[in-house]
Structure 1
Amino acid sequence: MNLLIGCDFSSAPTRRKPIVLALGSSAGGRVQLARLVHLNSLDDFEASLRQPAGWLGAFDFPFGLPRELVEQLGWPLAWPALMTHYAGLSRADIRQTFAAFCNARPAGGKFAHRATDRLAGSSPSMKWVNPPVAYMLHAGVPRLLAAGVHLPGLHDGDRNRVALEAYPGLLAREVLGHRSYKSDDRLKQTPERLIARKDLVTALEMGQTRLGLRLKLTHAQRDTLVDDGSGDGLDAVLCLMQAAWAQTQHAQGAPCYGLPAPIDPLEGWIVTA
């Protein structure tokens, strides 16, 4: 399994806002970016998962829901059955159900959180807007399952194709703190965010993160990542770095690709958190 994948995901991809895959490999502590691939539909995404060659991928969408939420709603308490139930809901169903859950709770505690969300500083996986990670789960996980891939700690599948949950913001914040480096709004793609992207790419190239890995880029690749104000390609590369860390942990004999043991088999876990 030499191919590594980092995925910046969209629950409603288009040509203007595609799913971005960073494809690469890792050896000797160096992570080589081979290329960026843009996928304009969820069908294209699922087709990419079915490629027969082995791969290890880190995907920027949640793989599970908060146990507190699931128990209160009376949904299935086994992950495969829960995902089947969730996939059968419409987005309107999800929004209505989760909004009712939040409305019944006090201010400051509207959302339920997974243990990994709190540790990683990621949005709660039940959030349906800004960012709509609940819809990302709804769009992404059923396609992982349909493609038959292996999800460590959650679902046994083809162990030559391994998918882990990632969160690029976890690694970005380690370098930048709370400096913003991206925006989908062109009017907000400021010089300050450009400088932040340059700083982030430089830190990855220098190995200045706790992952202990150096990113290897061509000059053209570096320019592409820095110049993209949306940060989509850079987010895919951040996920690629997390996949490389997991591969290193696996090669060193760590169980479950470096995920902590045990993890809640309903909630899942963000790799490197």
Structure 2
Amino acid sequence: MSGQGAATAPVLLLLGCDFSSAPTRRKPVTLAVGERVGDAVRLHQLLSFATLDAWQQWLAAQPAWLGGFDFPFGLPRALWQAWQWPADWEAGMRRYAALERRVLRERFKAFCDARPVGAKFAHRATDGPAGASPSMKWVNPPVAWMMHAGVPRLLDVGASFPGLGGLRGSARVALEAYPGLLARELIGRRSYKADDPARQNEARQLAREDLLARLQATGSLRLKLHLELQPAQHALLLADASGDSLDAVLCLMQAAWAQAQPRPAGASGYGLPAHMDVLEGWIVSA
């Protein structure tokens, strides 16, 4: 017999991404890379990228991945309609990315100024169930800039966005994740991270210890998955007081849950609801 054999499919990597729209060596984009084995999620490695170009190049070099990315994938439908943009998600995201942030800030502010007190920002349908900030928010946290920086780069590496657009049938699949959703399910609203060294205290370290213990406990999650770590990985996640590494792992858990969900014909799959708005997107597992 010939030794050629059939071509093997590329190995699917599971990714969780803690994102920054302006990464630096001190505050990089962090990727958790792993796999799901039954009910276990095994962390393989944590990667850091000090530039968006380096992050994008790494994603483009991997032939197959399913990733949970911690930034919004869509604008609120109310804002989309107010701007009178055509109802095409990818075209809208390309248009959004082409606008300078100064221009977007002015448009966001004009939209908010025309709305009543207490309802200045428009929300997506997923924001409530996930407890997430409005995707049009440009400060505290600046998730609008994260979307502005992240979504077009995922499109450029040929990712598909289930329920939205992108390169359908791609072996690179992008899902919107949100680590705060999972963290609150496990430890409530206890703070477990801080970028400011002055706020990196014992209480937050204890919260990280509890969060890691519950992630590793079999059956402790609504997601019905548990995290498998090596001792050195546990120590690293505990020591990272910024929480970036732990947030990447939380996104990895959400991606693993999505991978385990059925994908019926004619549906988006990955646990995304049938009623998902095709302009707004949905936070996976919300």
What range describes the TM-score normalised by the shorter chain of this pair?
A: over 0.9
TM-fit CA distance, 1:80: 1.3
1:187 corresponds to which residue?
Answer: 198
Greater Cα offset, 129-138 or 147-156: 147-156
Q: What does residue range 82-231 of structure 1 map to in structure 2 within 5 Å?
A: 82-157=92-167, 158-207=169-218, 208-231=220-243
**Secondary structure of 2:75 counterpart:** coil
TM-fit CA distance, 1:177: 1.0
Aligned residues: 273
TM-fit CA distance, 1:104: 1.8
Contact 2:90 2:166 in 1 (8 A): no
Counterpart AA for 1:209? L
TM-fit CA distance, 1:251: 7.2
Find the aligned partners of 1:255 and 1:81 in 2 and give their Cα distance. 20
**Secondary structure of 2:120 counterpart:** coil
Root mean square deviation of aligned Cα = 1.5
Find the aligned partners of 1:149 and 1:226 in 2 and give their Cα distance. 32
TM-fit CA distance, 1:220: 0.8
Give 2:269's match in structure 1, choosing from 256, 263, 267. Answer: 256
2:247 corresponds to which residue?
Answer: 235
**Secondary structure of 1:263 counterpart:** coil
Give 1:266's match in structure 2, choosing from 275, 279, 286. Answer: 279
Find the aligned partners of 1:84 and 1:163 in 2 and give their Cα distance. 16
TM-fit CA distance, 1:53: 2.4
Q: Larger Cα Rg: Structure 1 or Structure 2?
A: 2
Contact 1:22 1:37 in 2 (8 A): yes
Find the aligned partners of 1:220 and 1:11 in 2 and give their Cα distance. 29
Unaligned runs of 5+ in 2: 1-10
Percent identical: 59
Residues 251 and 269 of structure 1: is their aligned pair in 2 closer, same or farther, counting only changes over 3 Å?
closer
Find the aligned partners of 2:40 and 2:170 in 1 and give their Cα distance. 24
Unaligned runs of 5+ in 1: none
TM-fit CA distance, 1:262: 3.0
Q: TM-score, normalised by structure 2?
A: 0.92
Q: TM-score, normalised by structure 1?
A: 0.96
Find the aligned partners of 1:75 and 1:160 in 2 and give their Cα distance. 29
Greater Cα offset, 244-253 or 179-188: 244-253
Contact 2:17 2:248 in 1 (8 A): yes
Larger helix percent? 1
